[in-house]
A and B are shown apart, each in its own frame.
Chain A
Amino acid sequence: MRFVDEYRSEAEAQKYAQVIRRLVTRPWTIMEICGGQTHTLIKFGIDHLLPEQVTLVHGPGCPVCVTPLELIDKAIAIARRPEVIFTSFGDMLRVPGSGMDLLSVKAQGGDVRMVYSPLDAVRLAQKHPDREVVFFAVGFETTAPANAMAVWQARQLGLTNFSILCAHVLVPPAIEAILSAPGNLVQGFLAAGHVCTVMGYWEYEPIAEKYRVPIVVTGFEPLDLLQGITMALKALEEGRWGVENQYSRAVTREGNVPAQALVQQVFEVCDRTWRGIGLIPQSGYRLRPAFRAFDAEHRFDLASVSAQESPLCIAGEILQGVRKPHQCAAFGTACTPEHPLGAPMVSSEGACAAYYQYRRAA
């Protein structure tokens, strides 16, 4: 496929690996923010192409993984109501809540449906005026324009039976939380290409300056990652910091301005709790007061929900890059994709799922 296959060339990957081997003189630690990038790195064995001095740590960029347990329990409480059609991206359905997951709600007769796009949920609300259609709006900045459009369109259509359960998170505050944590080991970042496609990368410039770190906006194919890693290592070796853009075929400094405009119209920044990490100030979106009618937390009485995490799961340490999945006692034994204890084992972007899928035999 055009714009995919050419970035998977083994020969070019080997050339990049050679460039990196010649470049590196000291140990360096780089974090890739996005879980999609983690999967490419592990699937294609890119970490094995790198010299031993280069450590890649996997970041918290998996929205399914960081959605707080309490919100998953709220989703389950809503999905169990007989009048509700609960819609979600597929990943979210198997994330364990305190007692069960959304797929179990479906097995028990709840109307839980997987959708490809939030607009599919709006169509369902049009088609079923007698039912309450709720969409689980999880995601980073990449997904916010889609969810904003769904809410905006629902209002245009005069729908009174559509709402979203909003769990939106933002990348820059998470990078700041990692950099300002005591004992932080991360010296450079690969920023998530599609988040920057929407938001641009001007927001990262003050962070790179304040903490004196290189941040390279990076794409998702093997050669993208190898180039991003090369650019970050080159900056580190030369003692430079600042923001560079590897993913220039899709990302500009200012980002997608029309998308940002609708996001600003529908959402406002709020404090958000990240599962396994805790509260990060100003790190999420919620619906603006003008759109409160479309807020599922406002529409349904959810006061009685209280969350309980599995004591065995170390997802928090995994998401902060402190430990790797195979260092968890439950990995591959008590915790598998079939019976996950924590979200990183479920999501197609979760680090535990990547290690389980591609590294278990090793």
Chain B
Amino acid sequence: MCLGVPGKVESIEEDTTGVRMGKVNFMGVKKDVCLAYVPEVQVGDYVIVHVGFAISKLDEEEALEVFEYLRQMSELDQTTDNG
């Protein structure tokens, strides 16, 4: 139920009630997504979409953290092995 899918914002517009909406591309499939909760998002940004709502902008720098942490932990292991 809390499934969130990453997609790329391709366009942004307002609907008739003034709510910020946009087209988001999920691997070639484009869907209308509510962008009201991510006011900072621009065309070209990646967002996490849950039941038709973008709930977060993906941070490109933080996206590498999972690999950086692994590198640090692996290096720590090797230091322990050598010492």
Interface residues of A (CB under 8 A from B): 1-4, 7, 12, 15-16, 18-19, 22, 34-36, 61-64, 89, 91, 116-120, 138-140, 142-143, 145-146, 149, 153, 156-157, 192-195, 197-198, 220, 223-224, 227, 230-231, 246, 248-251, 256, 258-259, 262, 347-349
Contacts and interface: CB of A to CB of B under 8 A. Distances in A.
Contact of A153 (B2, B17, B27): B17
Interface string B52-79: 1101101110110111011001100100
Contact of B50 (A142, A231, A246): A142
A197 B73 contact: no
Q: Is the interface of B mostly helix, strand, loop or mixed?
A: mixed
Contact of B55 (A3, A140, A194, A231): A194
B36 to A, nearest CB: 7
A13 to B, nearest CB: 10
Contacts of A156: 17
A16 B70 contact: yes
B1 A149 contact: no
A146 B51 contact: yes
A249 B62 contact: yes
A22 B50 contact: no
A224 B2 contact: no
A119 B52 contact: yes
Interface string B20-55: 000000110000001011110000001010111101
A249 B59 contact: yes
A140 B53 CA distance: 14
A259 B58 CA distance: 16
A258 to B, nearest CB: 5
Majority DSSP secondary structure for residues of A touching B: helix
Contact of B1 (A117, A119, A142): A142
Contacts of B1: 35-36, 62-64, 89, 91, 138-140, 142-143, 347, 349
B32 to A, nearest CB: 9
Nearest to B76: A19
A266 to B, nearest CB: 13
Contacts of A259: 37, 55
List the 7 closest pairs (A to B, CB-CB), nearest first: A117-B52, A3-B6, A142-B2, A248-B62, A249-B62, A259-B37, A249-B63
B55 A142 contact: yes
